[in-house]
Amino acid sequence: MITLEHIYILSGAFLAFYAVLSARDRTNPKRFGNAAFWGLLAASFLFGSHLSDFANGLVAIALIAAGGLGLMHKGAAATTSEAARRESAQAHGNWLFAPVLIVPLVALAGTLFLKNSGLADPKQATLVFLGLGTVIALGICYAWLRPPFLAPLEEGRRLIDTIGWTAVLPQMLASLGAVFALGGVGGAVGTLATHYLPLGTPFAAVVFYSLGMAALTAVMGNAFAAFPVMTAGIGLPLIVHRFGGDPVAMSAIGMLSGFCGTLTTPMAANFNLVPAALLELPDRNAVIKAQLPTALLLLAANTGLMAALVYRF
Amino acid sequence: MWPLLGIAVVVAGFAARLNPLLVIAAAAAATCWAAGLSPHAMIAGFGHAFAESRLVSIAFLALPVIGLLERYGLQERARTLIARLKGATAGRLLLAYFLLRQLAAATGVSFGGQVQMVRPLLAPMAEGAAEAQVGELTPAQRFRLRAHAAAAENIGVFFGEDIFIAIGSILLIKAYLESNHILVEPFALSVWAIPTALLAALIHGTRLLLIDRRLRREKKSSAPKPDSRAP
């Protein structure tokens, strides 16, 4: 049976290749910094499940040092010229889209039809089939386009170097969230909110719950982390118990206020900062800026929606 | 209130535009110091979460496939294809993707993604459509379209997925309410996500259509003006 662990090992193997190819790239003045960074991340994927928590922590600290202290520089991976690409696009036509679509199709078909077939761990079926889809698409590309053997890995390195150390930010922020939880940050926010906010009317309680979900999500980078804090602090004691609001409508709509917060914050790196790097945008907050008007309008509308619905059912 | 020191460090660090990795390390250290945790406990807690959250990085697995196809002209082909479609504009294209993404997320279909769809297909297609509309783009216009492509993906997923009952956030709410003795069916939660999803479609859809208007306006204002000194 294929499990998430196998997919981690495949990811780790790709990363290890990126490390070796980076080390060989003499055009990059900081090639060993890149090699160390991708090598450490490869180690985390290959061996992370067997290392102690403390050892995993040391790997994370080493990654922070390599990425945070300017030891990396974008390499020059071997690729094709723009003219060659235009010519190839003409020659291959719309078939070029097929391998891109194979990956999600395998993930979808696998999740729908093969979830309990014993081929993949049913708990992580989508991720496992996503990995399988990648392998299948890569095999088809080798057979059809006959690229040099290392070409997919060189191209993968080209893209991962475009992202650079931003690639580990989502994992790092998730880990910071865990440290916040260990340090009792959630409880402190709840105490603060209930002591200092004017929550005397049903309407005010809804407004502070909704806006608080967005603000706390923006700070923690994750609505899942904000939800228990705000719901224990304001939602259940005030909206539900004191003012008699419906907990189901409140929770469901409140979570979506949190998602508005996610659109506004660099702390949600995988949604906001990684795409900016991947799309080679010079302003790392460009995606947040594109989302901000929608996030604010929708937050206002969503707060109004909650105020209108929560005391009615 | 000392545990909140870590949050203050994060806000100050991001505001000062310091390297986010260093900000994270400083915030973790400040939280541990304030909470009286030992450095060993902090490093172990951080490392445990780091290894556990490796699955957020699985999207990068597709990079060799995407990169290889780019080598053979994928982005160029995406631009050509969309430029040939009559009536395709950047705003309409982004709107179609956004609504499709929302619908797919609402029905639990895994489709899309920043690595799998936005970089190789949606962003170059939006640029191609805009070029067909107004000609050569400025770098600022190009970057704005790309940022909007990424935003359409995010907003589509966020305000679609909660309608699907087997999604993480719905299960989290259910588990949390149950731990507080409130029993609820996932379906009862997911119907409450529908009004916000419609509002999101309305608000963001309108903004996407305004992209075309802005492109046309910018073209007009940058076009050479007729010589006013002529008789």
Q: pLDDT by residue (tens digit) across A26-59?
A: 999 999 999 999 999 999 999 999 999 999 999 9
What pLDDT does residue B4 have? 84
What pLDDT does residue A155 have? 95
Tokens of residue A117, six digits: 């077939």
Q: Is the pLDDT of residue B226 over 70?
A: no
Q: Hey, are the CB atoms on B57 and A58 less than 8 Å from each other?
A: no
DSSP for B51-79? HHGGGGGGGGGGHHHHHHHHHTTHHHHHH
What pLDDT does residue B1 have? 67
Distance (Å, rounded) from C-alpha A151 to C-alpha B68? Answer: 7
Tokens of residue A81, six digits: 């010229």
Write the DSSP symbol of residue A120: B
Q: How many other C-beta atoms lie within 10 A of the C-beta of residue A51?
A: 17
Q: Is the pLDDT of residue B79 over 90?
A: no
Q: Is the pLDDT of residue B229 over 60?
A: no
* Whole-number Cα distances in Å, B84 to A280, B81, B120, B127, B129: 26, 5, 18, 13, 9
Cβ under 8 Å to A: B residues 171-230: 172-173, 176-177, 180, 182, 184, 188-190, 192-193, 195-196, 199-200, 203-204, 207
pLDDT one-digit tens code per residue, B35-51: 888 899 989 989 998 99
User: Residue B195, SS3?
Assistant: helix
What pLDDT does residue B77 have? 92
Min Cα separation A92/chain B (Å): 8
Give this prediction's pTM: 0.85
Q: Is the pLDDT of residue B74 over 60?
A: yes
Q: Is the pLDDT of residue B3 over 80?
A: no
With residues binned 3-state (H G I as helix, E B as strand, rest as coil), the percentages for chain B, rounded to 5, are 80, 0, 20
With contacts defined as CB-CB under 8 Å, which chain A residues touch B48? 53, 56-57, 178
With contacts defined as CB-CB under 8 Å, which chain B residues touch A4? 55
Q: Hey, are the CB atoms on A178 and B114 less than 8 Å from each other?
A: no
Closest among B157, B143, B147, B145 to B92, alpha carbons compared: B145
Min Cα separation B220/chain A (Å): 23
pLDDT one-digit tens code per residue, B119-177: 999 999 999 999 998 999 999 999 999 999 999 999 999 999 888 876 778 888 888 88
* Whole-number Cα distances in Å, A157 to A15, A140, A270: 8, 20, 19
User: Residue A154, SS3?
Assistant: helix
**Regions of chain A with pLDDT less than 50:** none
Cβ-contact B72, A88 below 8 angstroms: yes
Give me the helix-helix angle, A202-220 and A286-309, nearest 10°: 160
